[in-house]
Amino acid sequence: MIKYEKLLEIMKFPSDQSMVLKDFDPGYTKFFEGKKEGKAYLEYSVERLAELQEVLYAYNRNSMLIIFQAMDAAGKDGTIKHVMSGVNPQGCMVKSFKKPSEEELDHTYMWRCYKALPERGKIGIFNRSYYEEVLVTRVHQEVLKSQKLPKMPSDPENNNSFWETRYNDINAFEQYLVNNGMTVLKFFLNISKEEQKRRFLKRIENPAKHWKISLSDFQERQHWDDYMQAYEQMLLHTSTDNAPWYVIPADNKWFMRSAVSGIIISQLMSMNLHYPGISEEKKKEIEKAEEWLLKESS
């Protein structure tokens, strides 16, 4: 049942730009024989991920940054909740990035993400990230005016050099992280427009889900085609050999969660993690402690 490496091959967006977004089917599930196998795969993966995270924490040399980007209702929150359900909270942190605050706007656009990076030995999860700066800002270019840029690009919609500079900055930043022992895992949860509509309607029908409803989500849906173009350019320009994007079919939640968990495990296994060795002095301390315990009267 363990086919982690195959997931990497199927979901990886190639760095050679040989594919485009439409080549990835949001409803794909053929990796598993059915929903039952997919759920069993996830159940095993949650346990295996907990084991590997403990070794990562003890080894304390590497770290992992997991980035989730997606359209609204694609399932970012649910995927994080289910996949990371067995992980020790001490070794994992989740950060959601909303509209920048005034303080954040007084810094460069990477600043708020940089200061939220995981420490060595830990897994950091970004629910949205600095990639919003080539997504939301590209679809709603008026947002750039609030960023206090020293020089506003002329006609940003058609100013390819401006966006290419941001792509290059992001690639350089991620290469820096990789050079310093951080594995960067990037997931684009690829939901179809039809499935998003179905999930929105389901939220409206369920009063317990009304707290999730925001008019802005429905307004953003009107820009679907613009977002798909922005996502495609993001994938084409920032899926690199050292920090590739994985395009995860998101129309079936059970498949999405199983695929994400498998890819995370595959990358953790490739780190060659192990528990740290102990010195001869430490071994003697352990032997002494055992000796004292055995001498205690019951």
Q: Calculate the average pLDDT of the chain.
A: 92
Share of the chain above pLDDT 70, in %: 97
Domain count, the chain: 1
Residue 69 DSSP code: E
The domain spanning residue 73 has which CATH number?
A: 3.40.50.300
Q: Judge contact between 65 and 124, C-beta under 8 A.
A: yes
- Could you please report the per-residue DSSP string of 101-133? PHHHHTS-TTHHHHTTPPPTT-EEEEES-GGGG
Tokens for 18, please give them.
């040989």
Q: One-letter amino acid identity for 212?
A: K
- Whether residue 233 is predicted with pLDDT greater than 90 in this model: the reply is yes
Residues 110-131 have a mean pLDDT of: 97
**pLDDT band at residue 1 under the 50/70/90 scheme:** very low
Separation CA 149–CA 106 (nearest Å): 10
Q: Provide mean pLDDT across the span 57-64.
A: 96
Report pLDDT digits (tens) over 249-275: 999 999 999 999 999 999 999 998 999
Query: What is the pLDDT, as a whole number, of residue 216?
Result: 83
Q: What values do phi and psi take at 191, rounded to 5?
A: -100, 145
Q: Which domain holds residue 30?
A: 4-295
Q: Give residue-wise pLDDT tens across range 278-293.
A: 888 989 999 999 999 9
